Amino acid sequence: MLISVFFLTVAILGTSIYNRYVPVQNVRCNDTGFHEPDTTILDIRDYNNKANDIKRESLNIPYAYLRRFNSEITPGKIHVIASNRLELNLGIRFLKRKGFNVTSYEISNGPGNEKGGIDHGV
């Protein structure tokens, strides 16, 4: 009994750590800042963290609201903008689980950036 509880706890913790910290495969960092014309730019940063750097053509849905508003995202190629790696990994995994084609990403508050700036090529 005690061994099964131990293995169940390890499995749950391992899955949680994997989902949060292991990078998603086959999604590249867009280091040019240019996107294909049919790509939807999805900004999953919190509303208060992106005041200085909002792209007008992007769809702004914070990660906390993705489950509720994922029906507003158009199908096709998606470029994700996130504020950190954790938010990026969780957001891309959620979108892929819902069947979206995430092709690239950007991280806004990367090392060496001023607050609110976009980091191309992390």
Alpha-carbon distance of 49 to 115, in angstroms, equals: 9
Three-class SS state of 68 = helix
Residue 21 inside a domain? The answer is no
Do the domain assignments include residue 22? no
> How many domains does the chain fold into?
1
Structure tokens at 60: 């702004």
Is 1 domain-assigned?
Answer: no
pLDDT in tens, 69-91: 999 999 999 999 999 999 999 99
Q: What is the pTM of this model?
A: 0.81
Spans in the chain with pLDDT lower than 70: 31-33, 50-55, 110-122
Pairing status of strand 28-29 against strand 101-107: parallel
What CATH number corresponds to the domain at position 59?
3.40.250.10
Distance CA 115, CA 52 (A): 9
pLDDT (0 to 100) of residue 71: 94
